[in-house]
Structure 1
C-alpha cells in the first residue's frame, strides 16, 4: 500500500551565478577573515599571543573540535609552544572552491600578492582539490600573470611511502603527484536510513540506490543540490559511473521525484533522517555512521537491548555501487604561517592524528575525547597495527574496485542537469512522476528499476521513455547533440562547459555557457513533464 506523501518543503533554488566573479572579492575576503572567529569552538580560553593557524574547511563541528584540541596539545608537547587553530567555514566544498578561485583571480588582476587570509584548505574530495591545483592565469595590459590556489609542499618519497604505501586505492591516487594536496582520510558514499520510518512505509532496509527509486518512498527522501556540495556530486558520479549514464540518471530522477526537500548542504540529509522527517538520504559515509552511532548510543543509554538497541538510524554502502575517495588537505598559496601549516599536515597524517578518525572515545591516550568520528584512516600502517581498535571493522583496500569504464566527462554535467531536471521545477517533476506511478499499467509492487522496456502497457512505456529522455542541445554549424549519447559528452563538455565553442554564437558573449545549457535542459524537461501531466489529466 502506498503511503500518503509527507508535507513537502519547497525546493531550494541555487543562487544565480554571476557572469563575472571579479565583483565579489571584497565580500569573499570579509567571509574568509570573519568566519574563523564566528565558528570557533568553545573550550579552553585562547592565548592571545599564540600563533594562529587558519584552516578553511567544510568539515563539521565534531571533526573541527577533535582535531583542534588534539593538534594544539600535540604541538605544545612536541615544540614547546602553544598555538591556536582557527576555522573558516564559508560553505560547502564547491562554494569554497568558487570563493577561493575568485579571490586569487582578483588578486592577480589587481596586481596584489595572492592569498594571505588562511593557511590551509582541508576537506571535500579530490575533484575540488584537483581543480584548485591547476594554474590560474589572467592577462592584464598584455602581461600574463599566473598562480595557483594550492602551493607545492616539499616532501620525500620515503615520507609518502611511510603514509600511503603504493599511493593508490583501486584506481584512485591518494595524493597529488605535484604535491599540492594529500589525502587525510577515505570516504565512501551510501544511504542513511531511519528504521522507524521504513517500518511505517512498509519497505525493507535499502541496500542499493535503486531501492530508493520505488513509489513507496514518495515524499520521504532528502536530496542535496550537487552544485552546493562536492561530496554529493561525487556520490551522484559514483551512481552514474557504476550503473551507467542512462540507468544512473533513471535512478537520480526517481530519487528526485521522491524527494521531500532539496538541501543546500550534505549534512542536512542525515539530520532530517535522524529526526524522522524523511526515511532515507544519499550521504557521505561518516555523516551516516555518526548519526547511526549517536542514535544507537541513545538507545543503549535508555536501557534498550537486542534489536531495539540498534537505534533508529542505519547506514549502508551499496555493494559495488560506490567509490572510495580521499579527503585531501593542502597549503594555500600565500599562507601566513606555512611552517605551522606543514606541522598540522604532519600531525593529521601521523598515528596520533589518524587515530582520531576511527578509535573510540577515550579519556586518555590515542583517539578522540568527545566524538567518534567514524571515518576511515588513510595511513596504511593503521590497518596493520591498529585495526582491532577501529570502531568500524572496515578495510577499504579489500573492498575498493576500479570503475570498469570510467568517463571523466560525466561529472561536469551533474550539477547543471540535476538542477534543470529537479531543483528548477521540483513540483512539476513530482507531478509527472505521480502520473506514471499511478498509471494502471505500473507494477503495484515493483522489483528493481522500472523502465520503459520493463512494462507491457504501450502508453506507460511511452510516458516512461519520455520521462527518462535527455535534452538535445545545439552545436557548431547547425549540428546538435543528444546528451543521452554518452560517447559525445567529452566533446560537449569541451565545447559548451569549457567554452571551446565560444566563437560559434551558441550563447551570448557575456553569458555563462553552463547556465545557458542549464536553461536549455530545463526547457526540455519542463516540456516533457507537462506533456506527461497532460496525458494524466486527459485519461483521468
Structure 2
C-alpha cells in the first residue's frame, strides 16, 4: 500500500512537472515573425502565469491555403476547428472569415484598448463586432539601392509616376501579380489613384523599365539588396526589414504621398478555440507595448527583435512614443498624413480578371513590350502621343467590369486571355 502511494505521488509529480498550456496558431506570416514572437511569448507566459506554454504554429503555405485549411476543418466540425488563432493575411481575409462565422468575439482590457485607437487615417484597426484586431499595418512603396542609384546617376524616386521615367530603364524588378497578392495590391493602388486610362499607361511604362517579372514577391527585394537592379515596388515590411539589417545609408524606401494605403494585418480568436484563455493572453501580448516594439525596432536594440528586423508599422500608440528616434523608419501612421483608403470590396471583386489582364498584356508579352519601349523611350522623356498608344489598355473600364461576372466560365476566360495576348503583341510590334 505504501509503495503504491509513493509510486502514485511520483507519477503525479511527474505529470505536474510536464504539464503546460497549449496554443495553436494558424498563420501565413513569414518565419521571422514566428522566430521573434514565440520565444518571447513563452518567456513572458512562464514569468507572468507561472507555467509553460506549448505554441504550435501551423502554416499551409500562404493566406489562401490557410483559409482553405480552416474551411475544411470547420466542414468536419462546425463547433471547432481545433485551432485557437488566425494571425495575418490582410483585412479582406478577416472580413471574409467574419462573414463566414469563423471568428469569435473578444474585447481587449480597457488599458490596452486605450493604446490601440479605433482607426487611423479613417482605416479601422478593429472590427466593430470585436472579432478581429489589427496587430500591425502594412503599406506599399518603392524600395531602392542608394549606392546603385548614385553610381548610375539615377534620382531617388518619390512617387509611383517616377517609376515610369525612362531613366530607370532595365533597373526595376517586378513580381507577376498572378503569383503575389502584394503586387496585385500595388497595381490596384495605381489604378485607383490615377484612373483607368492613365493608370494603365503608367503600369505599362513601369513594365517597360522592368528587367523582369519574378514569381516571388521577395525576389525583387533580393535583387535590390544585391544591386542587380536599383528599384522595386515593395510592401513596406520586406523593405524596412532589410534597411533595419543593412542600414539606411545603403537602402531606402519611400511611401508615395497621396498614393499610399494602409492595410491592417489582423489577429483573431477562432470560434470554438480549444485554448481560449491562452489565445486571449497571446492577443494581449501581441498588441502590448513590448509586443509592438518587436515590429518597430531594428534587431539588436534593447526591446527589439534578436534574430532579424521585422520592419512593420505598429498599432499601439504608446509603442511609438517609447521608440521615438530608435525606429527603423520614422514613419508614424498616427501622425503622418497622405494615406488613402483602398476600395477593398472593388479590388477583391476585380482581382482575378485584373491579374489575368496584367499577365496577358504586360508579363506574357514582356519581350515585345520592352522592344517597343526601347524604341519610344529615348533619353529622359517619351513622346506623349506614342506613350498613349503604348499604354492604351486592352479594353475600357466598363468592358472590364462586365467580364468580372463571367470569369468563372473557362471558355470565356481562355478565349479572352488569348485575344489580349494577340492584340498586345500586335500593338507592341507596331511601335518597334
TM over 0.5: yes
How far has the Cα of 1:425 moved from its partner? Answer: 6.9
Deviations 1:483-518 (A, max 9, x none): 2xxxxx4x765x446xxxxxxxxxxxxxx24x6665
Name the CA distance, whole Å, in 1 between partners of 2:211 and 2:198.
Answer: 22
Assess if the C-alpha contact under 8 Å between 1:239 and 1:322 holds in 2: no
Q: TM-score under structure 1 normalisation?
A: 0.68
**Are 1:323 and 2:261 matched, yes or no?**
yes
Name the CA distance, whole Å, in 1 between partners of 2:48 and 2:344.
Answer: 46
Alignment counterpart, residue 38 of structure 2, candidates 61, 64, 68: 68
How far has the Cα of 1:356 moved from its partner? Answer: 1.4
Assess if the C-alpha contact under 8 Å between 1:360 and 1:367 holds in 2: yes
Name the CA distance, whole Å, in 1 between partners of 2:213 and 2:124.
Answer: 32
Assess if the C-alpha contact under 8 Å between 1:233 and 1:415 holds in 2: no
Alignment counterpart, residue 164 of structure 1, candidates 116, 120, 142: 116
Match of 1:32 in 2: none
Alignment counterpart, residue 283 of structure 2, candidates 345, 357, 369: 345
Name the CA distance, whole Å, in 2 between partners of 1:98 and 1:232.
Answer: 22
Match of 1:88 in 2: 58
Moved over 6 A (4+): none
Q: Which runs of 5+ in 1 are unaligned?
A: 1-46, 136-147, 297-308, 474-480, 484-488, 498-511
How far has the Cα of 1:397 moved from its partner? Answer: 1.9
Deviations 1:199-235 (A, max 9, x none): 4544222221122223444443322233444433333
Alignment counterpart, residue 372 of structure 2, candidates 409, 431, 435: 435
Alignment counterpart, residue 232 of structure 1, candidates 176, 183, 187: 183
Name the CA distance, whole Å, in 2 between partners of 1:160 and 1:239.
Answer: 36
Relative to 1, partners in 2 of residues 1:405 and 1:183: Cα closer, same or farther, differing over 3 Å?
A: closer
Match of 2:86 in 1: 121
What's the secondary structure of 1:164's corresponding residue?
Answer: coil
**Are 1:57 and 2:27 matched, yes or no?**
yes
How far has the Cα of 1:383 moved from its partner? Answer: 3.2
**Are 1:532 and 2:427 matched, yes or no?**
yes
Match of 1:486 in 2: none
Name the CA distance, whole Å, in 1 between partners of 2:388 and 2:197.
Answer: 16
Name the CA distance, whole Å, in 1 between partners of 2:185 and 2:429.
Answer: 35
Name the CA distance, whole Å, in 2 between partners of 1:214 and 1:411.
Answer: 29
Assess if the C-alpha contact under 8 Å between 2:360 and 2:421 holds in 1: no
**Are 1:130 and 2:81 matched, yes or no?**
no
How far has the Cα of 1:378 moved from its partner? Answer: 0.3
Name the CA distance, whole Å, in 2 between partners of 1:518 and 1:198.
Answer: 41
Name the CA distance, whole Å, in 2 between partners of 1:159 and 1:518.
Answer: 52
Match of 1:335 in 2: 273
How far has the Cα of 1:349 moved from its partner? Answer: 0.7
Assess if the C-alpha contact under 8 Å between 1:155 and 1:179 holds in 2: yes
**Are 1:376 and 2:271 matched, yes or no?**
no
Residue correspondence of structure 1 range 172-211 to structure 2 within 5 A: 172-199=123-150, 201-211=152-162
**Are 1:310 and 2:236 matched, yes or no?**
no
What's the secondary structure of 1:87's corresponding residue?
Answer: strand
Relative to 1, partners in 2 of residues 1:73 and 1:416: Cα closer, same or farther, differing over 3 Å?
A: same
